[in-house]
Amino acid sequence: MVAPSISFENVDLDKEAVDGPISVRSTTDLGAGYDRSRCGVRPISATLEADVGSRRTKDEGHGEPGTGHNEPVDSSAPDPLARLLAAPPRLPAREALPRLRELLADDPGHGIVVTAPPGTGKTTLVPPLVAHALTTPEDGGRVIVTQPRRIAARAAARRLADLLDEPLGNTVGYAVRGEREAGPHTRIEVVTAGLLLRRLQADPDLPGVAAVVLDEVHERSLESDLLLTLLLDARALREDLVIIAMSATADLDRLPTMLGAGSPDAAAADSAADGGNSTDGPGLAPEAPIVSVTGSLHPLQEVWAPPPSRTPRLGPHGVPREFLAHVAATAQRALTERTGDALVFLPGAREVEDVVSRLHGSVPESVDVLPLHGRLSARAQDAALAPSPPGHRRVVVATNVAESSLTVPGVRVVVDAMLTRQPRLDVARGMSGLVTVGASRAEGVQRAGRAGREGPGVVYRCCTPTDWARAPQAPVPEILSADLTRLVLELAVWGAPDGAGLTWLDPPPAPAMEAARTALQRLGLLEDDAEADGAAAAVTVLGRAVARIPADARLARALLTARGTVGARRAAEGTALLSAELRAPGGDLT
Same structural domain, 467 and 504: no
Alpha-carbon span 564 to 237, nearest angstrom: 39
**Which of 453, 479, 505 is the C-terminal boundary of a domain?**
479
Cβ atoms of residues 147 and 402 within 8 Å: no
Q: Could you tell me if residue 403 is inside a domain?
A: yes
Q: Are residues 391 and 332 in the same domain?
A: yes
Indicate the number of domains in the chain. Answer: 3
Report the candidate in 6, 25, 217, 19 with the shortest Cα–Cα distance to residue 115: 217
pLDDT digits (tens, 9 = 90+) for 7-17: 333 333 333 43
Give the CA distances from residue 33 to residues 30, 420, 455, 540, 541, in Å, rounded to whole numbers and listed in that order: 8, 38, 53, 10, 8
Residue 4 lies in a domain: no
What one-character-per-residue DSSP string does 268-315 give?
Answer: HHHHHHTTTS----TT-SPPPPEEE-----S-EEEEE-PPPTT--S-B
> In degrees, to the nearest 5, what angle opens at C-alpha 334 toward C-alphas 330 and 340?
145
Sheet holding 242-247, edge to edge: 179-181, 172-176, 188-192, 142-147, 209-214, 242-247, 112-115, 290-292
Q: Of 186, 117, 188, which is closest to residue 147 (Cα–Cα)?
A: 188
Instruction: State whether the Cα torsion 228-230-232-234 is positive or negative.
Output: negative
Q: Give one DSSP letter per residue of 380-397, joined into a string.
A: HHHHHHSPPPTT-EEEEE
Q: Model-level pTM greater than 0.75? A: yes
- Edge-to-edge strand order for the sheet containing 457-461? 300-304, 457-461, 411-416, 341-345, 393-398, 367-372
pLDDT in the model for residue 236: 85
- Same domain, residue pair 231 and 102: yes
Q: What is the pLDDT of residue 407?
A: 78
Ranges of residues in the chain whose predicted pLDDT is under 70: 1-77, 107-109, 250-252, 262-285, 296, 426-431, 529-536, 580-590
The CA distance from 234 to 193, in Å, is 16
Same domain membership, residue 306 and residue 253:
no
pLDDT of residue 577: 82
Q: Residue 582: its pLDDT value, please? A: 56
What pLDDT, in 10s, does the model give residues 291-309? 999 876 788 999 999 999 9
Are residues 384 and 510 located together in one domain of the fold?
no
Is the same domain home to 381 and 433? Answer: yes
Kindly write down the DSSP assignment for every residue of 207-256, as one continuous string: TTEEEEEE--GGG--HHHHHHHHHHHHHTTT-TT-EEEEEESSS--THHH
Question: In DSSP terms, which residues pair with 464 in a beta bridge?
Answer: none
Q: In this structure, are 90 and 237 located in the same domain?
A: yes
**Residue 188 three-state SS:** strand
Q: Which domain holds residue 237?
A: 80-261+286-292
pLDDT, residue 108, reads 59
Same domain flag for 487 and 474: no
- Give pLDDT, residue 43: 33
Domain boundary among 440, 460, 479: 479
Q: Is residue 573 part of a domain?
A: yes
Q: Are 191 and 255 contained in the same domain?
A: yes
Crossing angle for the helix pair 553-566 and 485-494, to the nearest 10 degrees: 80
Instruction: Report whether 147 contacts 13 (CB < 8 A).
Output: no
Judge whether 62 lies within some domain.
no
Cβ partners under 8 Å of residue 286, min gap 6: 110, 260, 263, 265, 266, 269
Q: Is residue 36 part of a domain?
A: no
Q: Let me know whether 314 and 462 are in one domain.
A: yes
Judgement on whether residues 419 and 493 belong to the same structural domain of the protein: no
